[in-house]
Amino acid sequence: MLDQIFDYLHFHFSLEASIVLLILVFLEAVLSADNAIALAAIAQGLEDKKLERQALNIGLVVAYVLRVTLLLTATEVQKFWQFELLGAAYLLWLVFQHFTSQEIEDDHHHGPRFATLWQAIPVIAFTDLAFSLDSVTTAIAVSQETWLVLTGTTIGIVTLRFMAGLFIRWLDEFTNLEDAGYITVALVGLRLLLKVVNNDFVPPEWLMITAIAIIFTWGFSKRNLTESPQVEVEKTEVSK
């Protein structure tokens, strides 16, 4: 039974396999920055910080199941350009919604707001799935061994949760970070759209990574000004 499972997953561990696994984990970490900030911004649609963490935890568990399903069916999925078109449309819709929505006073958050935890979870899960449509091609190109890709995906989803948790804090600290994140989401959406139109028009990974790095540098360039509370000191005179 185990032999059949290993044969299906193409499980053959070697030094080369461990190097490929490190490359997959590195790619997952680098390419997940824009994904993480998008998920963090979506989670901020919940007003309660505890609910934000729960939405990320549950949403990414669902996202992991969807990612594994996508990887195991990638050969078939890649035959249908409609999936990439839907993913591109969904990501670009998120970007449009972010930049056209109005800010609430004393709250710089754009985008959807959720009354309950269960409204946010599917949005988080399907946003990650849309990003995965772009990254799955890269993962499969690096290795054809299913177990390696699945292991890299598992580590990647844990890394994504950690990064999203950091970005939730940083979104409140840096003025331009949320906008920077959604600009990178737009880049991923446009990249998926170019895949549908003509794969020759798709920019190389190094160019995408460079562009994302520049955009995030701008995103971290300005901190929010926090007003320190004024403490009034009352002077009392002691008279004898």
Reported as a single tens digit per residue, the pLDDT across 65-76 is 888 888 777 767
Residue 20 structure tokens? 């490929």
Share of the chain residues as helix, strand and coil, in percent rounded to the nearest 5 = 75, 0, 25
Helix (H, G, I), strand (E, B) or coil at 220: coil
pLDDT for 165 beyond 70: yes
Does residue 232 carry a pLDDT above 60? no
pLDDT of 166 > 70? The answer is yes
For the segment 21-50, the average pLDDT, to the nearest whole number, is 75
- Give the model's confidence band at 7: pLDDT under 50 very low, under 70 low, under 90 confident, else very high: very low
Which range, of 24-28, 97-101, 128-132, 176-180, averages the lowest pLDDT? Answer: 24-28
Taking residues 118-126, what's their average pLDDT?
90
Q: What is the mean pLDDT of the chain?
A: 76
Q: What is the dihedral of CA 42, 47, 48, 52, to 10 degrees?
A: 0
The whole-number pLDDT of residue 22 equals 65
pLDDT of residue 140: 55
Q: How far apart are CA 46 and CA 55, in angstroms?
A: 9
Question: Residue 232 — left, alpha, or beta (φ > 0 → left; ψ -120 to 50 → alpha)?
Answer: beta
Task: Please check the confidence at residue 34 and state whether its pLDDT lies above 80.
Answer: no
Per DSSP, 140 falls in state H
Place of tokens 């009352």: 234
Indicate the pLDDT class of residue 44, thresholds 50, 70 and 90.
confident
pLDDT at 190: 92
Q: What is the pTM of this model?
A: 0.74
How many Cβ atoms are within 10 Å of 84's Cβ, its own excluded? 21
pLDDT of residue 8: 41
Report the pLDDT value the prediction gives residue 214, as an integer from 0 to 100. Answer: 92
The pLDDT score that the predictor gives to residue 9 is 42
Say if CB 133 and CB 83 are below 8 A apart: yes
Q: Which of 209, 237, 217, 227 is nearest to 28 (CA)?
A: 209
Query: pLDDT band for position 226 (50/70/90)?
Result: low
Question: How far is Cα 60 from Cα 160, in angstroms, rounded to an integer?
Answer: 9
Phi and psi, residue 51, nearest 5°: -70, -30
What integer is the mean pLDDT of 126-137? 79
- Residue 218 predicted with pLDDT over 90: yes
pLDDT of residue 159: 80
| Of the candidates 16, 37, 28, the residue with the CA atom closest to the CA atom of residue 150 | 28
Query: CA separation (Å) from 156 to 32, 66, 144?
Result: 8, 14, 17
- For 174, phi then psi, to 5°, come to -115, 125
**What average pLDDT score do residues 98-106 get?**
70
